[in-house]
Chains A and B, each alone.
Chain A
């Protein structure tokens, strides 16, 4: 009976493995193989980033090996070591955090495999790598600047708050700094120091802490979220308080975000959102591919280049002219 049970369990595991196996398609001799190792796809932004990179690579006739680390930095390192032994020509990673990016880049440097780090910068420059990142600080600053300009039109002091991401993520730190730059720029505009609301990039944590912040500071009327994926949470907190209102309404909370996702596009169109910082995903994917292919063709084992995506802020003021540049807007219109 016990043997039968074990056999049944083994079959249960084996059948789906065989059913969903992609088979052993070998790359042609002259075909370039690039491993794309990403930390996870927990938000629309990362899903779109993943799509942009893999499609760009495949359109260029490159064989892509994909590895998902499921938010585990150690697993990602093992996966990169694994693809190196498979003899890939290059590795592109979306790292879990800045520290692990350095460790992984060093492993690639030792193996002589070019590595590109996408959208989450390494914590230091001790390893050699191609880096494409959005300038989070500048983009956040641009979005918050627009919010500040809107606040000035009210002719009174406003009560600012920021929903901060995971403090281990350089992107979150950069966005917070961009927000703080605007706070420092207009000291007379604020009724009090900004309320900082930790989210750890977790919707439940964000919900609980935003509710507490609104309870403790009911006058908050200027809110910046470090990621657009938290807008549904913001809506669920502000709506019962009568503060989920259109731009221009007396109870409207001046609202800004960063990413440029589908929800942000919808909220901009519906006029609930004042501004969102946009990372130009397609541009970033192209930059990375060009740099990686150049390195592979030139036989560079440890290329070292830092490439910035300046990004921009999509606001109610420039929505008509620049909306099509936002990746989330394109997806939103496709969905519609």
Chain B
């Protein structure tokens, strides 16, 4: 493999390369970081943000944004908890209803954006406030505790070795990756994100497509909310607050463009999500001063996004040289 090929390969997979480098770096600082158990913890903790980030990737692909996911998580988790605790509803039904609440919020976003022609940023900012408002109204700001039957789910294993939350995350990723990469729907999403007008001229029903991404985002936010409550067992008023930005950061770190048309769920968003969680875990493992941790965290994310932004130009340059050589 010649030097140019190596550089090109590194450039094309910069996020993955950085991911491996960070993993090795923290492993060298704290050898326990290399354990399977630690990687399982990282994956487990990344699961809920990862699920939300997958939904966010769908929205970002169309050039939109969904700021309501954190509040959607909160409202859905509140509804689920109330149904289990007060209506004594079986967990499965309560979860299904809470997922439907997520779909409903996504539908409101979709309706406002595609029918009322409101800007996604403002629309989802409004639904963010409304969803949290409803949640606070229902709970009166009092924390909702979940029974052991729910929290025990976080310790259950699928096929005897995959923690439930990781299984749900990987299932969501698998379905999303297939939908985006192998279906007409996925190809149309990229087309809409790349050039809306051209997509319309090509006969794609853009509004319906865009609407579907917000509904998917709402559904996955609700699912992400449930996954995290199985781990923490309690929903208080701050639950999910700011998680929309973590989801956006994960998707963008994984290569998604805020302007639409670019991005993948796998490996993109998955790598972005796990990388953020890995850096946070690594900082704790290395016992870095807690006042320094946010600076290092932000620095590494900046570096990753910076490398990602310059790589496209560099790849184009390298390819141009190859064409000229040929």
Cα distance A85–B284 in the bound complex, in angstroms: 48
> B142 contacts which of A9, A44, A216 (Cβ < 8 Å)?
A44
Give CA–CA (A215, B284) in the complex, Å: 10
Tell me whether B115 is interfacial, beta carbon within 8 Å.
yes
Contacting residues, chain A, for B290 (C-beta < 8 A):
164, 167, 196, 198
Partner of A167, one of B44, B141, B291: B291
Does A203 contact B285, Cβ atoms closer than 8 Å? Answer: no
With A207-B45, A232-B145, A236-B151 given, is the CB distance from A212 to B281 under 8 Å? yes
Kindly provide the distance from the CB of A289 to the nearest chain B CB, expressed in whole angstroms. 22
Q: Is A52 on the interface with B (CB-CB < 8 A)?
A: no
A127 at interface, CB cutoff 8 A: no
Asked if A22 lies at the interface with its beta carbon under 8 angstroms from chain B, I say: no
Cβ of A5 < 8 Å from any Cβ of B? Answer: yes
Whether the pair A40, B237 counts as a contact (CB closer than 8 A) is yes
Q: Which residues of B contact A43 (CB under 8 A)?
A: 143, 236-238
Cβ–Cβ contact A212 & B141, under 8 A: no
The distance from the CB of A82 to the nearest CB of chain B, in whole angstroms, is 18
Chain B residue nearest in CB terms to A6: B116
Residues of A within 8 A of B169 (CB): none
Q: Are B285 and A212 in contact (CB under 8 A)?
A: yes
Taking the closest CB of chain A, its distance from the CB of B244, in whole angstroms, is 13
B30 part of interface (Cβ distance < 8 Å) = yes
Q: Per-residue CB proximity of A1-29 to B under 8 Å, as 1/0?
A: 00001100100000000000000000000
Q: Does A209 contact B (CB under 8 A)?
A: yes
Check if A233 sits within 8 Å of B116, measured CB to CB: no
3 residue pairs, one from A and one from B, having the closest CB atoms: A41-B141, A42-B238, A208-B45
Which residues of A have CB within 8 Å of B317?
none
Q: How far is the CA of A306 from the CA of B33 in the complex (A)?
A: 47
B23 to chain A, nearest CB (A): 14
Instruction: Identify 29 residue pairs between A and B in the complex whose beta-carbon atoms are under 8 Å apart, listed by A's number.
Output: A5-B116, A40-B237, A40-B238, A42-B237, A44-B142, A164-B290, A167-B291, A193-B287, A196-B289, A198-B293, A203-B239, A207-B232, A208-B277, A209-B280, A209-B284, A211-B44, A212-B38, A212-B285, A215-B41, A216-B30, A216-B284, A229-B236, A232-B232, A232-B233, A233-B232, A235-B233, A236-B151, A236-B154, A236-B233
Interface residue? A202 (CB, 8 A): yes
Chain B 273-316 near chain A by CB (<8 Å), digits 1 or 0:
00001001100110101110100000000000000000000000
Decide yes or no whether A213 CB sits under 8 A from chain B.
yes
Contact B231 A201, beta carbon cutoff 8 Å: no
Q: Taking the complex as formed, is A155 at the interface, i.e. its CB lies under 8 A from any CB of chain B?
A: no
A205 to B48 Cα, complex, angstroms: 12
* Interface membership of B183, Cβ < 8 A: no
Q: Given A44-B143, A215-B32, A71–B241 Cβ distance below 8 Å?
A: yes
Interface residue range, chain A = 35 or more
Residues of A within 8 Å of B116, CB to CB, are 5-6, 9
In this assembly, does A204 line the interface, its C-beta being within 8 Å of a C-beta of chain B?
yes
Interface of A is mostly: helix
18 more A-B residue pairs beyond the given contacts A5-B116, A209-B280, A216-B287, with a C-beta to C-beta distance below 8 A: A9-B116, A42-B236, A42-B238, A47-B140, A47-B141, A47-B142, A167-B290, A195-B284, A197-B284, A198-B284, A203-B236, A209-B284, A215-B35, A216-B33, A232-B145, A232-B232, A236-B233, A240-B155
Bound state CA distance, A265 and B44, in angstroms? 30
CA distance in complex: A229, B145 (Å): 11
Residues 55-87 of A contacting B (Cβ, < 8 Å): 70-71
Chain A residues positioned under 8 Å from B238 (CB to CB): 40, 42-43, 71, 201-202
A236 to B33, CA, bound (A): 21
Please determine whether B233 and A216 come into contact, CB atoms closer than 8 angstroms.
no
- Cβ of B287: which chain A residues have Cβ within 8 Å of it? 193, 195-196, 216
Which residues of the other chain, B, contact A235 by a CB distance below 8 angstroms? 233
The answer, yes or no, to whether B228 is at the interface (CB within 8 Å) is yes
Partner pick for A41 among B155, B237, B241, CB 8 A cutoff: B237
Please encode chain B, from 1 to 41, with 1 for each CB lying within 8 Å of some chain A CB and 0 for all others. 00000000000000000000000000000101101011001
Q: 0/1 per residue, A130-156, Cβ < 8 Å to B? A: 000000000000000000000000000
Q: Which of A42, A46, A211, A216 contacts B45 (CB 8 A)?
A: A211
Q: Are A216 and B32 in contact (CB under 8 A)?
A: yes
B285 touches A216 (CB 8 A): yes
Q: Does B234 contact A (CB under 8 A)?
A: yes
**Given contacts A42-B236, A71-B241, A197-B284, is CB(A207)–CB(B231) below 8 Å?**
yes
